[in-house]
Structure 1
């Protein structure tokens, strides 16, 4: 009898430790609502708005994400990973190496303009790097640089391309409300400067992240 009772107790503990279906559903609803709100309003959003849209109480939200920063990081990591993989696949599928590089920048910057939280955090990527995010970008840009090697001016490195993306991301952040699409003009100027017909040596070295 004692053995049977022990088994029953163990099964009960296992059941209690397993995530409940409603808990999983609540977490997914919170993340989905947070993704929408962060894209619309940026990281300054009130978490009460996220709770309202997800249909859960504040207590439930805090059980899943004790700090607002935890929720923001989870959402941005998910959105950023999906975006980076999409950009990488688009670059792989493109036949023209220069068009692939230019389209990657346009897609990246247009995407950050539509997602306020990514736009706000994009400019911080270099000074306070999320190593996973940086590495995802570097993989894409390294592939693009290698493919376009004969079309790029001598000396251009993957870190040059990465820092250019972060810099233009900052330009999106500070100009998007007052002068939308100005970043597209700056991108055109920047891409022209990357072309191989510029032969003068580049100053200094690109510092790695």
Structure 2
């Protein structure tokens, strides 16, 4: 017969409500600050916006990198899901592909930390990050196979997103609409009426 755990022990083991609330406030504030200022932000600004002291912040996240990783993983997943949903809502396969890029790059432009880290995420894949996005792109490519020029791969579409993301990064403040023009040019180059064979590539291992 199991012995009931003393109530005082159960209370000690259960996370305190205020501790949970503080952690949520820290993550919420960090998400806003990282989107605005990028990963170089001072954690004191995060503590100030969340309404907690530095000691409380460090109890939950001993290293700044822990907090940044937590926020980016969450925000990246939400960003990928938002782009996926935009694609699902478009019934036409080409519109779905276009809407995916529009939604992804618009969200990218609004989140400086994602903008800074996306290329790094590509080179060091996170199963909850780039792999989630890869699945979305693979589905879009499969839907639009007959509309894409022969030889276009999922890696091509992902790397196009990376390169356009870099264009967003270097032009968004001075010429915020320029990436829309580059996206139009890039998508036009993916159409099936371009019959020239693409250069051979070595598949990326992920």
Q: TM-score, normalised by structure 1?
A: 0.92
Trace 1:1-209 onto structure 2 (pairs within 5 A): 10-205=6-201, 207-208=203-204, 209=206
Determine if contact 2:118/2:162 at 8 Å carries over to the other structure.
yes
Aligned mates of 1:170, 1:147 — CA distance in 2:
26
Change (3 A) 1:15 1:197: same
Deviates more, 1:170-179 or 1:110-119: 170-179
Aligned mates of 2:4, 2:95 — CA distance in 1:
64
Deviates more, 1:188-197 or 1:118-127: 118-127
Q: TM-score, normalised by structure 2?
A: 0.93
Query: What residue ranges of structure 2 are gaps of 5+ in the alignment?
Result: none
Aligned mates of 2:100, 2:170 — CA distance in 1:
21
Aligned residues: 203
Determine if contact 1:65/1:71 at 8 Å carries over to the other structure.
yes
- Partner-residue secondary structure (3-state), 1:45: coil
Determine if contact 2:90/2:99 at 8 Å carries over to the other structure.
no
Aligned mates of 1:126, 1:171 — CA distance in 2:
16
Q: C-alpha displacement at 1:127, in angstroms?
A: 2.1
Change (3 A) 1:88 1:169: same
CA RMSD of aligned residues (A): 1.5
- Partner-residue secondary structure (3-state), 1:123: helix
- Partner-residue secondary structure (3-state), 2:66: helix
Runs of 4+ aligned residues of structure 1 deviating over 6 Å after TM superposition are none
Q: C-alpha displacement at 1:173, in angstroms?
A: 1.2
Determine if contact 2:86/2:103 at 8 Å carries over to the other structure.
no
Deviation by residue 1:165-209 (Cα, 9 ceiling, x = unmatched): 111111111222222221111111110110000111110125324
Deviates more, 1:75-84 or 1:62-71: 75-84
Determine if contact 1:125/1:166 at 8 Å carries over to the other structure.
no
Query: What residue ranges of structure 1 are gaps of 5+ in the alignment?
Result: 1-5
Deviation by residue 1:98-151 (Cα, 9 ceiling, x = unmatched): 011011101111111111111111122222332321111111111111111110
Higher CA-based Rg:
1
